[in-house]
Every structure is written in structure tokens, then in C-alpha cells.
Structure 1
């Protein structure tokens, strides 16, 4: 459980870092603002059209009596919108990182520079980096879509569908959100998607402690935009410690004590 708190700590450290570096905070806002406008329009459209979509998909309920038709279609409309919101939370980060590739690469490098030590570089061209990021984002989104379909189907299970399934959904969202964010720093360190997933699975609770609170915060309008620069900074700090964890302190050397029966031999006493 301590890893959950530590993961949340990285999120807070990232926000404090950008608060101390105001220029980088403003620099990191731009991609999120552009993506937010696009996503807001899409969610508004889904909100207006979800009931028509459900009505089209459930013609068998046209002749149902009240209240069963209303209950079915209202419940399905809510599930469609929640599913769309679920995908929006995940894809928002991927799209923002794709749009803001040069912004967030520079921000992540500055965090590495500010923290000291080596500042890794991928050695690839800008367009090659963009292509790898886009390809990996599609792979992650396919995984998320698979989980989303399974959770959507489980949402029809009474009680469990309204309690356990949403909690699992937030954990899935948080895990893959953390993967997308740490990818900025880990890709510069030459780690491919497969290796990144293995690395994150090894500290799953730490990753969830970072990603789940961020997922919940991203559900609040406009919050995602303002947290994004700090989220990238925090993910870089997290990636640094995952790849090169701080060494444990050396144990103190043993010293002789009075009455221990062993004292260091003086000159000429050996043997």
C-alpha cells in the first residue's frame, strides 16, 4: 500500500515542479488547450446524439410498455455516454501527447536536466519519434478498447455493474494513462513499448497511485489541461526512479564496543 502513496507523491512533485518553473507550465498548456476544444465538441455531440443512437440500436423495444422501454433506453444512453467519457479520458492524453510531442519532450528533458545526472536523448529524428509515439498510442488504445468492451458488457450485471466495474474501469484508465505519460521519458531512454509495460507491471501499485488520481481529476472539465504539464513532469520523475532507483544506504560499519570481548589489535599484537 505504501507504493500507492508514493505514486501519488510523484504526481504532486510534478505539479510542484511546474509551479516553480512558470515558463514551462505555460509552455505545456498549449497542446492541451487545442485538444480540449476538439474533445469538448465531440462529447457535446455524443451527449445530444446518444439517445438517438440507442433508439436506433434497440428497435426491439419500440413496442415495450412504460416504464420498461424508458428504463432500458435511459440506462443504455447513460452507459454509452460513460463509455465515451472513458475513452475520452484515455485518448485525451494520447492525442495531447501526439499534438504536443515537441513541447513535452522539451519539458521532460528540462526536468531531467534540473534533477541532475544524464539527460537521455533518443537519437532519432523528430518525425521518427512522432511515428513511434503514434504507433505505440494506437497499440495502447486497442488494449484500452478491449478492456472497455469487456467492462461495458459487465456493466449490465446487477449491483456489480454499478459498483465494482466502474472501480476497475478507473484502475484500467489510470494504469494506461500513466503508461502514456511515462512514455515521454522512457522512449528517450530507448525503451520500446514491450519493455515499458514490463517495467510498469513490476510496480503496478506505484503506477496506479500515480495514474488513478490523475484519471479522476481529468474527469473535471478543464482540469486535464492545467494538470497536464505537471503530469508530464511527475511522470518523468517517476520514470527516472523506475529505471535507476535510488541506492539503499550502506549499513554502518561495525565498531568495537566496551565489553564485547573483541578489540582491534594494536601494533605488535597480531598473532
Structure 2
């Protein structure tokens, strides 16, 4: 359970880092603003025409008597909008990272240089178009996984009591996991860590991931908050990626491996992934 607090501290440290680097924060806001406009438009369409869609999709209920027809279709309309909102939260990070790939790559590199004992950062040897392709491909795979979970949780939401208590909690934990995967991917892809290895890393530290991603997912439900938290979330995820790979920082060197946000790094640890993880030979 200690990792829950550690993950949350990484989220706070990332926000503090961008607060000290105003120029990076300003550039990091642009992709989120673009994505926000797109998602708000989509949710407005869903809110305005969602009831019409439900009516079209349920012709078998046309002859139902009042109030059952209104209650049934009203419930489905609410659930449809809730599903759209959940999918927005699950996919917002992926779309924003894809749009802002050059912005967030630069921000993540600067975080690495700032905390690295020798002031260096791992650099990808792939051209920009290849990085965008890999990022888009992996993001699509994550979105498909997230959609499967979303549909499953949506169905379980109809189960009495569990659907109103346990399912929402699981939903936020799932959201937090996938948010963290997308955010740490910025730093891990630059190190050549492929998607399967990234998922293995995160599954090995689930409580750390939930401590970072679940509060972020909850915050993303508040309108406009996601835009302002994204730069700091990328910075915090970069710091957490270093922890996951056991990379040393200036802070851990100075404190003998026991400083920072409660990380598990030890002095002298290599900055490259361990052999079981393996680099991605794209």
C-alpha cells in the first residue's frame, strides 16, 4: 500500500516541476486545448442527439405504455452519455499525446536531463514519422483494451448494488492504469521499451500505478482540468518511469538511494532496461 502514496507523490512532483518551468508548461498546454475542443464538440453532439439515437436503436419499445417507455429510454440515454464520458476520459490522454508528441517528447527529455546525475537523457534514434507511427499504433492497442474494459463495466453497471458501488471503483482503477500507461509511454518509448514490456512493468507495480493514475483520472472528470494537468502529468510519469526501470537520479545519489518520492532506485543502477524487458527493435 506504500506504493499508492509514492505514485501520488510522483503526480505532485510532476506538477511542481512544470510550475518551475513556465515555458515548458505553456507549450505543453497546446495539445490538451486542441483535444479538449474536439471532445467537447463530440459530447455536445451526444447530449443533443443521444435521445434520438436511443429511440432509433430501440424500435421494439415504441408500443410500450407510459411511463415505462420514457423511463427505459431515459435510462439508456443517461447510460449512453456516461459511457461516452468514460471513453472520453480513457482516450483523452492517448489522443492528446498523439497530437502533442513533439511537445511532450521535448518536455520529457528536459525532465530527464534535469534529474539525471550526469545531465543527460535517453534519446530515440527513430525519425519523427516513425515515432508518431509507433505511438499511434501502441495507443490504438491500448484504446482497444480500454474499450473492452469499458463495455464490460458498462454491462456490469446493471447488476444491482454492485453496479452502483464496486463497479465504479473498478472503473476508476482501470482508467488510472491505462492513463499511466499512456503517460509513461512518452519516456519508455524513448528508451526503446515496447508495449508488452511496458505493460509488464506497470502490472508489477499496480499500487504505484493506481496511486498515480486513479487520482488523475478523477481529476480529468472535472471540465478543463485535464488540459492544465497534462504537462505536469507527463513530467511526473517521466519521473515514475525512471523508478520503474531503476534509474538513478541526483536525489537518490545524494541520499544513498533512499530519497525522492520513495523510489526503489539504488546508486549505480544502469539507465537501460533490464534484459527481461528488452529494447524494441523497430
> Normalised by the size of structure 2, how large is the TM-score?
0.86
2:127 equivalent in structure 1: 125
Q: Which has the larger radius of gyration?
A: 1
How far apart, CA to CA, are the structure 1 residues paired with 2:147 and 2:87? 8
C-alpha distance in 2, partners of 1:129/1:78? Answer: 39
How many Å apart are 1:245 and its aligned residue? 5.3
* CA distance in structure 2 between the partners assigned to 1:152 and 1:20 by the alignment: 41
Counterparts of 1:177 and 1:30, CA distance in 2: 19
Aligned to 2:58: 58
Q: Does 1:224 align with 2:226?
A: yes
Q: Are 1:152 and 2:154 matched, yes or no? A: yes
How far off is 1:208 after superposition? Answer: 0.7
1:28 paired to 2:28 = yes
Aligned mates of 1:245, 1:66 — CA distance in 2 = 64
Structure 1 partner of 2:102: 102
Once the two structures are superposed, the pairs formed by residues 1-271 of structure 1 within 5 Å of their partners are 1-117=1-117, 118-244=120-246
Aligned positions, number = 250
For structure 2, the residue ranges without an aligned partner over 5 or more in a row are 258-282
Whole-angstrom CA distance in 2 between matches of 1:165 and 1:64: 30
Query: Greater relative contact order: 1 or 2 (C-alpha under 8 angstroms, separation 6 or more)?
Result: 1
Distance 1:236 1:85 in 2: 27
- TM (normalized to structure 1)? 0.89
Q: Which runs of 5+ in 1 are unaligned?
A: 251-271
For the residue of structure 1 that corresponds to 2:165, the secondary structure is helix
Q: Distance in 2 between matches of 1:225 and 1:15?
A: 12
More moved, 236-245 vs 60-69: 60-69
Q: How much is the aligned-residue C-alpha RMSD, in angstroms?
A: 1.4
Tell me which stretches of 4 or more aligned residues in structure 1 moved more than 4 Å.
245-250
Listed one character per residue, the Cα deviations across residues 56-83 of structure 1 (whole Å, up to 9, x for unaligned) are 1111221222222222111111111111
